[in-house]
Every structure is written in structure tokens, then in C-alpha cells.
Amino acid sequence: MPRPIQATIHTEALRRNLARMRQAAPDAKVWGVVKANAYGHGIERVWEGLRGADGFALLDLQEAERVRALGWRGPILLLEGVFEARDLELCSRLGLWHTVHCDAQIDMLAMHKTHQPHRVFLKMNSGMNRLGFAPQRFRAAWTRLDALPQVDEISLMTHFSDADGPKGIARQVEVFEDITGDLPGERTLSNSAASLRFGADAAVRADWIRPGIAVYGGAPDFPDHGAAHWGLQPAMTLAARVIGVQQLAAGDTVGYGSSFTADTPLRIGVVACGYADGYPRHCSTGTPVLVDGARARIVGRVSMDMLTVDLTPLPQAGLGSEVTLWGRAGNGTVLSIDEPAHAGGTVGYELMCALAQRVPVAVD
Ligand SMILES: *Cc1c(COP(=O)(O)O)cnc(C)c1O
């Protein structure tokens, strides 16, 4: 018998989450963001659930090839554009749309020999200070691109730094609109958080939204709001089983470093999931899990191949019990990935992306 741990990708949840994002941004087209191997879910595994998107956004040229290999003939956008001049050949061959965020990428385009002019997304740095042209340099970049025979259509793009937080997006929207107001072309501004929180505003949803985390059922603004608040369902479940049980007396400790001490007698379940499976080591005592669909907590440190949970309040649970680390339990109860992520000091994005290669994955 293989080690009892399994991830499951939920096709219907992906479909519903995509529909939810369409509802949040009515009439906008939707990029399904499938970078980082579809946030750890696997591009091929999410395909059936996400093929109803209007396009796919990603960073890696090999991932673009994989999306084309699935038979997708529609739009694919490279969110970071090309990394070297040769990449433009693949863009021409596969018909990829690509972000242009710096002068070097315009230089490469100007040198590129192609029969097929490219569609590009010119990116403004409206305050994130990662990729993009500064607002005062944006129009010069647009004019340069517009003069190139290699370019046939220019769309306009920016990315928010604080769509999920109290600072919000108003200032960045204002900067973007000031500079681009009279330019032609489609626009895209919003990630999941902006689409859910501000998608009712036509200027924010614009022509295309770019949801990632929400499509996979994570809340972009946890703990302010949870996935259930936004009507999102987990697209990934990680579940394992109890492979050992220990009875502790008051004063006994659990695991490496004896970081947890029982103050009363406790029954401990040892679960076949550890940090080598992608479960964060920082999710120590107190992190929630579901045991046979009932909430329980981790005690002690997560080790490489195992973690330990308190079964004391669950007398029915024992050897072989199902332990849901995140996602949907067999009885239908949901533990959003945002909860263990938060307990471990990180975000759901990081947990889903870090699912380890050794975990077998099924699609339902
Ligand atoms: C990753 C990414 C997104 C998706 O962000 P979520 O917070 O997952 O919705 C959107 N736009 C760009 C440019 C990105 O890099």
C-alpha cells in the first residue's frame, strides 16, 4: 500500500470559482492565471475546470507550450514578457501575447523578424515598484511600440500592491487613468482581490481581470474575509491518514525539541504528512486540521514525514482516520487553505504552490 497521503484537484470547484469571478466583474473577460504550474495544482489537472476562461496568463514559456499542447488556441499572456530575444520566436510561433515592462523588451521587439505582428500588454508601474514603466515614461514607451511593424495591437496593464488591504487601489487607479485616459486599447488592472472587492467599478474590472488565488478557492484577503465569504470553494484537498496513536500522560512531550508538553492525559494521532510533502514546518501547535471531518489541532512540531494531532476530543478517531490538512473532508466539511497558512505565518498561495512532488494527485 502506498503511503496514505493524497492531494485531490476538484474540477467542479474550479468551474464554480471561475463563474464566481465572472459574476464579480460582469462583462470583463477573464484570464485564468496558471503560473507556477497553476499555483501548484498542475496545468493539465486544472484544464478541464478552467477551460471556460477567456485566456490563460502565466510566466514560463514552457508552461505556455503546455497550454497550447492541451489544444488551447485562444489568448495566452506572458505576465513578465520575454526574458531574452529568442523568446520572441516562440511568441511568434505559438501566438503568445506578451507584457512589455521595460525598454530592453522594446529593443528586442524592434530587432525581431516576424511575419506575424504581436499583441503586447504595455505595463505601467503605478506604485507597486516591481515591473513596468514609470507613469511619466509610459506614453513614450507606447509611442515607440506603436511605431514598430512587429506590433499590431497594444493593450494597457498595471498591477496593484494593496488590493487586499486597507490602503486599497484608488491611488493606483487614478495614476493609471490619468496617463492612459485617451489611449486606445484594452485594459487590465485587477487580480483576485481587486476583482472581488472592487469589480463592481467598471474602471477596475476594465476589459480583462486576472484572477489567480480566487480561482483556486483561496481568499485573497484572509483573515479579513474567508473563502466562504467570497463564495469560493477549495480546488485542492490535501489529506492523509493516522498511521499511529500514542497515549500521553500529563508532563509527556511530543516530537522534536519537545516543543509541546501535555498538561493532561492526551491521545495523539500520528499523521502521514510532513514538510517533505509541502506542509509547512511553521504550522506547529494549534494549527487546525480536520479528523474524519471534525476540527482538531496539531500539537508539537511538524517533522519531515509526519505530524501529530490531538485526538482526545474525538474518541471515535484512531488508526486509519482521515486527516484533511486543507480542502474538503470526506463528510463535506471544508478547511480553507487560508487557515493553516495563517497559523503558519504565511498565505494560502504559498501552501498550494509548495505541494511536493512526492504527493500523489488525483483529479475529481
Ligand atoms: C499572479 C498575478 C496575478 C494573480 O494574482 P492573484 O492574487 O492570485 O489573483 C495577477 N496579475 C499578475 C501580474 C500576477 O503576477
Residue listed under C-alpha cell 476589459: 207
* CATH classification at residue 346: 2.40.37.10
The last residue of one of the domains, among 153, 183, 216, is 216
Shared domain check, 267 and 137: no
| Grid cell listed for 25 | 466583474
Residue 231 falls inside a structural domain: no
d(CA 72, CA 43): 12
Atom number in ligand 1 closest to CA 164: 7
Ligand 1 site, residue 159, Cβ cutoff 6 A: yes
- Residue whose CB lies within 8 A of the most ligand 1 atoms, among 33, 39, 155, 189, for a mutation test: 33
Residue 5 falls inside a structural domain: no
pLDDT tens track of the chain, all 364 residues? Answer: 899 999 999 999 999 999 999 999 999 999 999 999 999 999 999 999 999 999 999 999 999 999 999 999 999 999 999 999 999 999 999 999 999 999 999 999 999 999 999 999 999 999 999 999 999 999 999 999 999 999 999 999 999 999 999 999 999 999 999 999 999 999 999 999 999 999 999 999 999 999 999 999 999 999 999 999 999 999 999 999 999 999 999 999 999 999 999 999 999 999 999 999 999 999 999 999 999 999 999 999 999 999 999 999 999 999 999 999 999 999 999 999 999 999 999 999 999 999 999 999 999 9
Residue 280 falls inside a structural domain: yes
| Grid cell listed for 68 | 497550447
Residue 194 falls inside a structural domain: yes
CA distances from 295 to 288, 309, 341 (A): 7, 10, 16
Residue 29: active-site member: no
* CATH classification at residue 163: 3.20.20.10
Helix/strand/coil for 200: coil
Shared domain check, 263 and 197: no
- Number of folded domains that form the chain: 2
Shared domain check, 128 and 36: yes
Residue 210 falls inside a structural domain: yes
Shared domain check, 252 and 111: no
The predicted pLDDT at position 1 comes to 83
Ligand 1 site, residue 212, Cβ cutoff 6 A: yes
pTM attached to this predicted model: 0.97
Shared domain check, 84 and 155: yes
Residue 256: active-site member: yes
Shared domain check, 24 and 149: yes
Residue 115 is part of which domain span?
Answer: 11-216
Shared domain check, 185 and 276: no
Shared domain check, 241 and 200: no
CA distances from 152 to 72, 97, 158, 322, 328 (A): 22, 11, 20, 55, 46
CA distances from 339 to 144, 258, 299, 327 (A): 47, 24, 16, 10
Shared domain check, 156 and 98: yes
Q: Could you tell me whether strands 5-9 and 361-363 are parallel, antiparallel, or unpaired per DSSP bridges? A: parallel
Atom number in ligand 1 closest to CA 33: 4
